[in-house]
Amino acid sequence: MKKPLLHICFLLCVTSGIIAQTSNDGVLYISENTQFSTVSGFNNLSQGTFNNDGESFIYSDFNNDGVVDFYEDTGITQFVGSENQYISGSQVSYLYNVVFSNGSNDNPFHLSGEINVSGIVDFDEGIVDNDNFGGEFTFNIYGNHINTSDISYVDGFVNKLGDEEFVFPIGDQGHYRLAGISAPIESNDFFKIKYYYENSNALYSHDLKADNIMEIDPEEYWDVQNVTDSPRGLITLSWREYSMTGGLMDAVENEELSIVRWDESSNMWIDEGGVIDFDDQTITTAVSGYGIFTFARLETERLPCSLEVYNYVSPNGDGKNDYFAIEKTDDSCVRELNVQIFNRWGVKVYEMSNYGENGRVFDGHSSGRLTVKDSDKLPANTYYYILKYKYGSEQENNSHKEAGFLYLSDN
């Protein structure tokens, strides 16, 4: 049976001042199966320690200048209000599960402090605004979120620590627009991503672009930062029909929409490729760098020849789909076929030049970083491939790149 602990004042620990604020300058512990709430603002002073393994309801402002943490992998902090709630403080607030639920206005949570979440964040209602207030929102190694939508997300940078794949709960101006990363290699890898529902042209000129880029998205862009500079991986960006202006929606339908990145070294937009998922309205690609990303319509290539790709591999020796089969419609046209394959962590597990020649095929074994102990046999899973080849006459030196998903089975 839950024992409510409501507005309890501990001697030298919790005091309530004449300004209707609950302050803690001692040790306040909310044990499991115990509830705590404060209708007035909660101020954890520099000498204060607030550990929450139970259920804490914060109905107004929350400030932390001391220690806010939890002992067990439990505890839930619910920010539930009927007017703006200011989340501030000079020290990091380490929380396990968190709920944001405030329908008083579109942006009720004003984050100027730092929140670090190890459990699940439930974005029930209300946008957390750290963009205009200078706060930090970090998901720890196993932190994640649910119920994220156009009415509840983080407006500003979101940080992610750890080696788990992650979808960032970011948005801007009432538009939730996720960005996802493949699982990094190390547990201390650190990413931070922000979404902008605005034209990137003023900062990154759309006139400066690679020759095959015809039209750059004028509505939105993402800032993807890999702070620890880990090896390149996969990123996923989301698109919506209402933001696909000009010829971009036609590019989606014709599968000509691509992810492009502003390349600092060449001072121009370059094509990063991508595979469109029509059901989830996302594009996924293996990136050659990080920074500023958006979408673009590519020039339609009129290829004199093409490839037939069989993307199901079951290397069990039965003579069916034993390797990644790629058939050329014209051997004299497709030249120097290069195949790269990446796992779900974005690690390149296979690469082969002149693919298909002299037995050079992918049969489920890695030619890169080993992913199974004491073996180079790859586990059954979904992989991402990139094909690059030259076509036409050698004098023209034309090249083509395409990508897709590969399904590797044990059967």
What is the C-alpha to C-alpha distance for residues 238 and 178, in angstroms, rounded to an integer? 6
Tens digits of per-residue pLDDT, 256-273? Answer: 899 999 999 999 999 998
Contacts 24+ apart (CB under 8 A), 78-82: 79/109, 81/108
Q: What pLDDT tens digit does each residue of the chain (411 aa) get?
A: 334 444 344 433 444 444 568 999 999 999 999 999 999 999 999 999 999 999 999 999 999 999 999 999 999 999 999 999 999 999 999 999 999 999 999 999 999 999 999 999 999 999 999 999 999 999 999 999 999 999 999 999 999 999 889 999 999 999 999 999 988 878 889 999 999 999 999 999 999 999 889 999 999 999 999 998 877 789 999 999 999 999 999 999 988 899 999 999 999 999 998 899 899 999 999 888 999 999 999 887 666 777 889 999 998 888 888 999 998 877 667 888 999 998 877 788 899 999 988 888 999 988 754 444 445 789 998 899 999 888 877 777 777 888 889 999 986
* β-strand partners of 6: 37
pLDDT score at 48: 97
pLDDT score at 225: 96
CA distances from 101 to 220, 351, 401 (A): 27, 48, 46
pLDDT score at 375: 55
pTM for the whole structure = 0.86
| 80 C-beta neighbours (distance < 10 Å), count | 18
Which residues contact residue 363 at a Cβ distance below 8 angstroms, ignoring those fewer than 6 apart? 313, 315, 322, 323, 324
Contacts 24+ apart (CB under 8 A), 314-322: 314/408, 314/409, 314/410, 314/411, 315/363, 315/364, 315/408, 316/410, 316/411, 322/363
DSSP state of 168: E
Beta pairing, strands 213-216 & 234-238: unpaired
pLDDT score at 1: 37
- Which runs of consecutive H residues, i.e. helices, occur in 155-301? 248-253
Question: Is residue 253 helix, strand or coil?
Answer: helix
What is the C-alpha to C-alpha distance for residues 213 and 221, in angstroms, rounded to an integer? 16
